[in-house]
Amino acid sequence: MPAPRINMRKIKDVLRLKLDAKLSHQQIANALGLSKGVVTKYVGLAAAAGMDWPAVQGMDEAALERRLMVGSQKARDYVQPDYGRLHQELRRKGMTLMLLWEEHRADYADCQTYAYSQYCENYRRFAQQLKRSMRQIHRAGEKLFIDYAGPTIALTDGGRAHIFVASLGASSYTYACATPRETMADWLESTARALSFYGGVTQLLVPDNPKAMISDANRYEPRGNDTVLDFARHYGTSILPARPYHPQDKAKAESAVQIVERWIMARLRHQQFGSVHEVNQAIAPLLTRLNDKPFQKLPGSRASTFAEIDAPALLPLPLQRYEMARFKTVKVHIDYHVEVERHRYSVPQTLVGQVLEARITTAVVELLHRGQRVASHARNGRVGGFTTTPAHMPAAHRAHMQWTPQRLIHWGESIGPATAEAVTRLMAENRHPEHGYRACLGLLSLAKRYGKVRLEAACILALQIGACQYRHVNDILKNNRDQSVPVVADEWVSPEHVHLRGPGYYQ
């Protein structure tokens, strides 16, 4: 285990006792609890730097450290790596310090380079000088941190514009937009806009635990609601909520929110906006300036780092943008229909009695069984109505569905006009035409037994006597009354008799 580092206060005491008090090395070592070799080392460094006690006394600890150590650092003619570039390269997927060290040694094979252990130690010392939020190594294209800023922007109509902020983990490339509220629809719509802005999808989306998106804010297994999970499936990504009350889990988002508040929202404080759209128009140019602003301690800017590191690692966007959907659990009734918003939609008749999941969008209702889509219908707002796909019906129901009044009348016309008229009267006698289907089918089936000619003749007779029921026509045919020659009576003329007065009687 290495010995603890000696602080500069004790080193300054060493120089005071030697240069001012003129004590021996052994006396100084005994007085300060140090070894004689340590005392010799720092006295020698002060002599090499040409320092006396008045010079040492007037320096603070940081200045004294730089003055004492500069000699030894110059003596070591090592090639110093570009630690800023090193820090950014480590964000690439699969990148390691060992590989970067090997490349550094290969690039400067003719020069003196650090050993691997010192190379790593120097990088860690550099990383500790950066902001706390940048100590984490974020892989390229891995995480998109999303959050809403605390402050809002006032609108002239009395409303407030809420500012959504997204930031990529590796490059810190930032996106911001305004929304009227912070509902689930606002969260998902803003995230979809951010992904379109980046031109790709990250492997993970990291929000905090907003109630609008997270149905179970569990410390160990947080779970988004069904619509949020559907959004993630559409884009081929995953939701990884931060732990409750642990802002360090999304430090990148916290930092991005702070930067947006200072560099964008603060610059808009004197402007007046009538709508959220106007706020977004004002944000766009400021957002470009923010992303093009150079880093203070790292090379490049957010925009250049995004183009170099994050952009090539992003997953492709889906062909269509996500359409807001909500989910509802439904049960298949005995008529193989489910009810959604008081309208009934059909599903395959084999699913009668099963519990399904309805995915409802603006234009479509999808029915899912164990995650698989089994039916899809155009959304219909007619209360009490039915939307039925014939393929979902049993075979007997499909055959029954094919019978219509027009088809039955057309069949009757193929036999004769009297038969067609009899069919029409049968359906007209019922309140609903469907109730007369069976009687019509029975009537038309008589053509198979007796032939079309006899059936037409029987229907003529039935129409004359006003009895068009199936049983009446069947009796006519059974008794062969349709084949008997009808007796045509002559016109009746009164016979001559004595009681006939004649026209002269009325003169």
Rounded to the nearest 10°, the torsion over CA 112, 115, 121, 124 is 70
pLDDT in tens, 28-69: 888 888 888 888 888 888 888 888 888 888 888 778 887 777
Task: Say how far apart CA 410 and CA 396 lie, in whole Å.
Answer: 22
Residues 474-503 have a mean pLDDT of: 66
pLDDT in tens, 133-159: 444 566 777 888 888 888 888 898 888
Task: Say how far apart CA 224 and CA 237 lie, in whole Å.
Answer: 13
Task: Say how far apart CA 294 and CA 10 lie, in whole Å.
Answer: 40
The pTM of the full predicted model, rounded to 2 decimals, is: 0.51
pLDDT in tens, 189-199: 889 889 999 99
Tokens linked to 242: 């931060």
pLDDT in tens, 222-260: 566 678 888 888 888 888 776 655 555 566 767 888 888
CATH 3.40.50.720 for the 143-313 domain, yes or no: no
More confident residue, 347 or 441: 347
Contacts (Cβ under 8 Å, ≥6 apart) of 103: none
Task: Say how far apart CA 377 and CA 347 lie, in whole Å.
Answer: 10
State what percent of residues in the chain have pLDDT above 90.
2
Region of residue 228 (left: phi > 0; alpha: psi -120 to 50; beta: else):
alpha
3-state SS, one letter per residue, for 357-404:
EEEECCCEEEEEECCEEEEEEECCCCCCCEECCHHHCCHHHHHHHCCC
**Domain ranges across the chain:** 8-75, 83-129, 143-313, 326-394, 403-478
Q: What pLDDT is stored for residue 133 in this prediction? A: 44
The pairing of beta strand 364-369 with beta strand 355-360: antiparallel
Q: What pLDDT is stored for residue 4 in this prediction? A: 65
Q: What pLDDT is stored for residue 487 in this prediction? A: 43
pLDDT in tens, 114-137: 888 888 888 888 877 765 444 456
Residues 68-73 have a mean pLDDT of: 58
Please, are residues 439 and 476 in contact by the beta-carbon 8 Å criterion? Answer: no
State the average pLDDT for the chain: 79
Contacts (Cβ under 8 Å, ≥6 apart) of 51: 15, 67, 68
pLDDT in tens, 332-391: 887 778 888 888 888 887 888 888 888 887 778 888 888 788 888 888 878 877 888 777
Task: Say how far apart CA 361 and CA 384 lie, in whole Å.
Answer: 20
Contacts (Cβ under 8 Å, ≥6 apart) of 385: 343, 344
Task: Say how far apart CA 115 and CA 433 lie, in whole Å.
Answer: 95
Confidence of residue 89 (pLDDT cuts 50, 70, 90): confident
pLDDT in tens, 409-425: 777 888 888 888 888 88
CA Rg, the chain, in Å?
46
pLDDT in tens, 455-468: 888 888 888 888 87
